[in-house]
Structure 1
Amino acid sequence: MNDTSTGNPGTLARGLDIVERVAAAPGTTVQRLATDLGLSRSAAYRIVGALRERGYLVGETELRAGPVVLRLGLQAMDGLDIYTVGPEPLRELVAETEETAFIAVLDDDQMCYVMQEEGPQVVKVVSKLGSRAPLHASALGKAYLAALPAAEAEAVVDRIPLTGYTAATLTTPAALHADLARTRTAGWALDDAEREPGVRCVAAAVRGAGERPVAAISVAGPRDRIVAAQPAIVTAVRRTAARLSAALGAAPPPDLP
Structure 2
Amino acid sequence: MNDTSTRTSADGGTVGTLARGLDIVEWVAATPSATVQRLAADLGLSRSAAYRIVGMLRERGYVVGETELRLGPVIMRLGLQTLHGLDIYAVGPEPLRELVRQTEETAFIAVFDDDQMCYVMQEEGPQVVKVVSKLGSRAPVHASGLGKAYLSALSDAAAGSVIERIPLTGYTATTFTSAPALHAELDRIREQGWALDDAEREPGVRCIAAPIRGADGSPVAAISTAGPRDRIVAAQPTIVAAVRRTADRISVALGAAPSPDRLSPDT
Please indicate, yes or no, whether the TM-score normalized by the shorter chain is above 0.5: yes
Q: Return 5+ residue gaps in structure 1 as ranges.
A: 1-11, 23-27, 34-43
1:68 aligns to 2:63 (yes or no): no
Q: Please report how far the alpha carbon of residue 165 of structure 1 lies from its aligned counterpart in structure 2 after TM superposition.
A: 0.8
- Return the match for 2:215 from 209, 226, 229: 209
C-alpha RMSD over aligned residues: 2.9
Sort the Cα spacing of 1:227 and 1:13 in 2 relative to 1 into closer, same or farther, 3 A: closer
* Contact 2:36 2:47 survives alignment (8 Å): no
Counterpart residue number, 1:104: 110
Q: Please report how far the alpha carbon of residue 13 of structure 1 lies from its aligned counterpart in structure 2 after TM superposition.
A: 11
Counterpart residue number, 2:145: 139
Equivalents in 2 of 1:18, 1:209: separation in Å?
31
C-alpha offsets along residues 88-130 of structure 1, whole Å, 9 cap, x if unaligned? Answer: 0000000000000000001100000000000000000000000
Residue type of the alignment partner of 2:151: L
Equivalents in 1 of 2:26, 2:259: separation in Å?
45
- Return the match for 1:170 from 167, 176, 181: 176
TM-score, length-scaled by structure 1: 0.79
Query: Partner of 1:161: helix, strand, or coil?
Result: coil
Aligned pairs, number: 226
Equivalents in 1 of 2:185, 2:256: separation in Å?
24
Equivalents in 1 of 2:150, 2:118: separation in Å?
12
Residue type of the alignment partner of 1:66: G
* Contact 1:19 1:65 survives alignment (8 Å): no
Residue type of the alignment partner of 2:41: R
1:190 aligns to 2:202 (yes or no): no
Equivalents in 2 of 1:147, 1:184: separation in Å?
7
Query: Partner of 1:50: helix, strand, or coil?
Result: coil
Counterpart residue number, 2:134: 128
* Contact 2:107 2:125 survives alignment (8 Å): yes
Counterpart residue number, 2:41: 46
* Contact 1:140 1:204 survives alignment (8 Å): yes
Equivalents in 2 of 1:114, 1:106: separation in Å?
10
* Contact 2:112 2:118 survives alignment (8 Å): yes
**Fraction of identical pairs, as percent:** 64
* Contact 1:204 1:216 survives alignment (8 Å): yes
* Contact 1:99 1:221 survives alignment (8 Å): yes
Equivalents in 1 of 2:208, 2:220: separation in Å?
17
Sort the Cα spacing of 1:83 and 1:176 in 2 relative to 1 into closer, same or farther, 3 A: same
1:16 aligns to 2:16 (yes or no): no
Counterpart residue number, 1:199: 205
Residue type of the alignment partner of 2:165: R
Equivalents in 2 of 1:172, 1:190: separation in Å?
17
Equivalents in 1 of 2:158, 2:149: separation in Å?
14
* Contact 1:114 1:129 survives alignment (8 Å): yes
Equivalents in 2 of 1:102, 1:169: separation in Å?
20
Equivalents in 2 of 1:123, 1:187: separation in Å?
28
Equivalents in 2 of 1:14, 1:83: separation in Å?
23
Query: Partner of 1:170: helix, strand, or coil?
Result: coil
TM-score, length-scaled by structure 2: 0.76
